Amino acid sequence: MIHIENLVKRYGDLVALDHLNLDIKEGEIFGLLGPNGSGKTTAINCLLALLKYDKGTVTIFGRPMTPDSYDLKKDIGIVMQNVAVFDQMSVMENIDYFCGLYVKDKEKRRLVEEAITFAGLENYKKMRPKKLSGGLLRRLNIACGIVHKPRLIILDEPTVAVDPQSRNKILSGIMELNRQGSTIIYTSHYMEEVEQICSRIAIIDHGQVLATGTTEELKKMIKTGETITIEAISLAEPELAALREFPHVFDLSYQEQVLTLRLSSAKHNLVRILNFLQEKNISFGQVFSALPTLNDVFLEITGKELRD
């Protein structure tokens, strides 16, 4: 459905997109995950032909995307990172206005009502955007972007500065849109969100795609199979050295009486380590075992945390 090939975008000496390649299939919720400044928004802006790029090609629905591709734009809904609505229009007028940019009058009324219901803005129809809370404002922004029921919806960090309740509503709404048949591109630096809703993910940093795949595929790409955290009192260097030699352990840290072990995937890792601590008469308190997250994937690929 969307094909981006060798996309290069420079701002002077800064290379914002460095031979970026992406393939997005119809019906997917495709997550573009990366830290702030990694090139996600630039990629979206190039995809929408809002920015001129230096090199590469972008095709949507099998046709090249240009600033004049109005027939393509008709089937694309965009929810910008910054809320893009008119302060002097009411909630309903804003949704109606953005709907009118895509569809004719006959269908408009029904679509506007549906978008209002979808975003849960029934009680705020006549309010001006300035009177809305951050969460409601984001929901209005989304309603304006999806009101014309597009085939492709691009959401650029739609949950920034949103309270948990509104965030959940937004995420479940996005999944509902996908169920209704829209393909979705979702950019975020919140890995939990991406993990929760995206069927496929591309991890992006410094304008390059570092890895692409489903959550499981990405996790399988890395060494970490399990991260064990144990609150252990007074671990000495000989015990730590012994633990380092344990099978499957490839990383260990002990700070402020918290032992963190990263292990490759294997059975009975936790039992073996707890037995060792008991044998050595080392008291331990809370014990956690966690499967790898996208942050682990990002950490292992780039050597830094996703939120750095």
Q: Which of 43, 78, 140, 197 binds another protein (CB under 8 A)?
A: 78
Instruction: Count the residues of the shown chain that bind another protein, applying the rule CB under 8 A.
Output: 29
Task: Name which position in 4, 20, 33, 80 contacts another protein (CB under 8 A).
Answer: 80
Q: Is 67 in the site for another protein (CB under 8 A)?
A: yes
SS3 1: coil
Contact 30, 184 (CB under 8 A): yes
Nearer to another protein, 54 or 305 (CB): 54
Minimum CB separation from another protein for residue 201, in Å? 24
Q: Which is nearer to another protein, 85 or 198 (CB)?
A: 85
Candidates 102, 124, 186, 298; binder of another protein (CB under 8 A) is 102
272 CB contacts (<8 Å, ≥6 apart)? 246, 247
Question: Among the candidate windows 32-40, 50-58, 224-232, 263-271, which touches another protein by CB under 8 A?
Answer: 50-58
- Write 273-279 long-range contacts (CB < 8 A, 24+): 273/228, 273/230, 273/243, 273/246, 274/230, 276/239, 276/242, 276/243, 276/246, 277/230, 277/232
Shortest Cβ distance from residue 33 to another protein (Å)?
A: 23
Taking CB under 8 A as the rule, does residue 53 contact another protein?
A: no
Q: Is 106 in the site for another protein (CB under 8 A)?
A: no
Residue type, 157: E
Gap between the Cα atoms of 6 and 156, Å rounded: 21
Per-residue binder mask for another protein (CB under 8 A), 82-101, x = binder: xxxxxxxx---x---xx-xx
Residues numbered 138 to 157 that lie near another protein (CB under 8 A) are: 144
Question: Which residues face 90 on adjacent strands?
Answer: none
Please identify which residue in the block is written with the tokens 């099978």. Answer: 247
Contact 76, 149 (CB under 8 A): no
Q: Site for another protein (CB under 8 A): which residue of 12, 14, 62, 68?
A: 68
- Tell me whether residue 70 or residue 165 sits nearer to another protein (CB atom): 70
Q: How far is the CB of 48 from another protein (least distance, A)?
A: 5
Cα four-point dihedral sign 44, 135, 166, 73: negative
Neighbours of 81 (CB within 10 A): 15
Q: How far is Cα 202 from Cα 31, in angstroms, rounded to an integer?
A: 6
Taking CB under 8 A as the binding criterion, the range among 42-50, 226-234, 244-252, 279-287 that sits at the site for another protein is 42-50
Residues 6+ apart with CB under 8 A from 219: 291, 292, 294, 296, 297
Structure tokens at 107: 């269908």
Residues that bind another protein (CB under 8 A): 45, 48, 50-52, 67-68, 70-71, 73-74, 76, 78, 80, 82-89, 93, 97-98, 100-102, 144
